[in-house]
């Protein structure tokens, strides 16, 4: 049976909507913002989990979306990083309109599969397509917050350098911790003097930046469906054990 991990507690806590307040909105990239939220009844979470956000218009119309939690279990405040999608219904509201003091409805944490906690150990190979980096960043931040020595390598794919979330933080983390490496693949445009990857993620790239399969890294791949399927088949093709690869796919134009 593939990847059936032991159930993590708590399995049976109720999942109710709660009102949370936007404390602060921090620009992340030109298209994305990090929302720092005050959730009074927050039960705690594991890195990799997500929340559901529900918005209700005055006439009762509702829309719901899921967003990965960017903050670690150790952080005092809950934060999400949301990317504005061009045809989006909820993301433009969250990124552009929502103001500190505003309340939105949230339920969570949700998801017991795509999670990592430092007692599980490493090495850790994190492969992200676009905003798929959010839950993986929560894992990296949790690793740092718990002083884990598990070797960690992250590969992020984005169209252009300005679209890479947490760029400075990734650089700083890699510079400060010799057990951490961060690699970026820019698929459409590269800045002058770029020395990183300039193509889509493929098997040779994963072989170059990833751990050898016999190191048995725990692998997490997150991004649009096409990206995840291509990267995870490449990893299996390189010899990584499928039972150590966990994936999370989201729609190409989630909205």
Partner 1 sequence: MVHVDGNAAAGILREVFAAEMTAAACVCGHCGAGFALAETHAYVRAPGVVLRCPDCSGVLLRILRLREGLSVEMRGVARIEI
Partner 2 sequence: MGVDNRPCRDCTARDNARMALISRGFTGRRRPPEERDRLPPGQYLVDGFPVLSAGPTPHTPLERWTFQVRGAVQPTPTWTWEEFRELPSERITRDIHCVTKWSKFDTTWEGVPVDRLLDGLALDGRFVLAFCDGGYTTNLSLDDVTGGKAWIALAYGDAALEPEHGGPARLLVPHLYFWKSAKWVRGLEIRREDRPGFWEELGYHNRGDPWREQRYSGD
Q: Given the rule CB under 8 A, which residues bind partner 1?
A: 1-5, 7-8, 11-12, 14-15, 50, 52, 66, 107-108, 110-114, 224-226, 228, 246-252
User: In terms of CB distance, is 96 or 162 closer to partner 2?
Assistant: 96
Q: Taking CB under 8 A as the rule, does residue 142 contact partner 2? A: no
Minimum gap (Å) between residue 186 Cβ and partner 2: 21
For 252: left if phi > 0, alpha if psi spans -120 to 50, otherwise beta; the answer is alpha
- Nearest alpha-carbon partner for 86 in 132, 133, 30: 30
Looking at the chain, the number of H-run helices and the number of E-run strands are 5, 11
Residues 58-97 touching partner 2, rule: CB under 8 A, are 58-68, 82-83, 85, 87-91, 93, 97
C-alpha dihedral, 13 to 19 to 22 to 28, nearest 10° = 50
Minimum gap (Å) between residue 168 Cβ and partner 1: 28
Using alpha carbons only, what angle is made at residue 91 by residues 37 and 56, rounded to the nearest 5 degrees? 75
Q: Residue 16 binds what, of partner 2, partner 1, none (CB under 5 to 8 Å, by partner type)?
A: none
> Crossing angle for the helix pair 133-145 and 167-176, nearest 10 degrees?
30
Minimum gap (Å) between residue 240 Cβ and partner 2: 22
Rounded to 5 degrees, φ, ψ at 188 are: -115, -45
Q: Rounded CA gap, 157 and 56, in Å?
A: 34
Q: Taking CB under 8 A as the rule, does residue 19 contact partner 2? A: yes
Size of the site for partner 2 (CB under 8 A): 45
Task: Determine which residue in the list 38, 42, 52, 123 makes contact with partner 2, applying CB under 8 A.
Answer: 52
Instruction: Provide the 3-class DSSP secondary structure of residue 163.
Output: helix
| Burial classification of residue 253, based on how many CB atoms lie within 10 Å of its CB (0-12 exposed, 13-18 middle, 19 or more buried) | exposed
User: In terms of CB distance, is 151 or 223 closer to partner 1?
Assistant: 223
- The beta strand positions in 57-120, using DSSP E, are 62-68, 78-83, 103-110
Q: Residue 252 binds what, of partner 2, partner 1, none (CB under 5 to 8 Å, by partner type)?
A: partner 1
Task: Determine which residue in the list 7, 41, 57, 176 makes contact with partner 2, applying CB under 8 A.
Answer: 57
Residues 192-211 touching partner 2, rule: CB under 8 A, are none
Rounded to 5 degrees, φ, ψ at 135 are: -65, -30
Q: Taking CB under 8 A as the rule, does residue 165 contact partner 2? A: no
Q: Name the site residues for partner 2 (rule: CB under 8 A).
A: 17, 19, 50, 52, 54-68, 82-83, 85, 87-91, 93, 97-99, 102-105, 131-132, 134-135, 222, 248, 250-251, 254-255
């Amino acid at each position: 049976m593939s990847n059936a991990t032991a159930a993590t507690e708590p399995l049976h806590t109720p999942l109710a909507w709660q009102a949370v307040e936007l404390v602060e909105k921090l620009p992340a990239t030109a298209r994305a913002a990090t929302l720092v939220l005050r959730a009074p009844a927050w039960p705690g979470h594991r890195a990799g989990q997500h929340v559901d956000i529900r918005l209700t218009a005055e006439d009762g119309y509702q829309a719901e979306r899921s967003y990965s939690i960017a903050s670690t279990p150790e952080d005092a405040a809950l934060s999400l990083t949301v990317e504005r999608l061009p045809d989006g219904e909820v993301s433009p509201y969250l990124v552009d309109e929502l103001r500190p003091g505003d309340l939105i409805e949230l339920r969570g944490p949700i998801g017991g599969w795509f999670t990592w906690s430092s007692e599980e150990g490493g090495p850790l190979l994190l492969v992200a397509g676009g905003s798929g980096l959010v839950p993986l960043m929560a894992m990296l931040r949790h690793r740092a917050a718990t002083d884990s020595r598990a070797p960690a390598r992250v590969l992020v794919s984005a169209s252009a350098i300005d679209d890479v979330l947490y760029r400075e933080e990734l650089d700083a983390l890699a510079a400060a911790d010799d057990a951490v490496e961060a690699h970026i693949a820019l698929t459409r445009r590269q800045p002058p003097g770029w020395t990183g990857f300039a193509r889509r993620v493929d098997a040779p790239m994963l072989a170059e930046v990833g751990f050898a399969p016999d190191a048995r890294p725990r692998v997490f791949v997150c991004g649009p469906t096409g990206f995840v399927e291509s990267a995870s088949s490449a990893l299996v093709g390189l010899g990584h054990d499928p039972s150590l690869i966990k994936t999370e796919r989201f729609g190409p134009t989630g909205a």
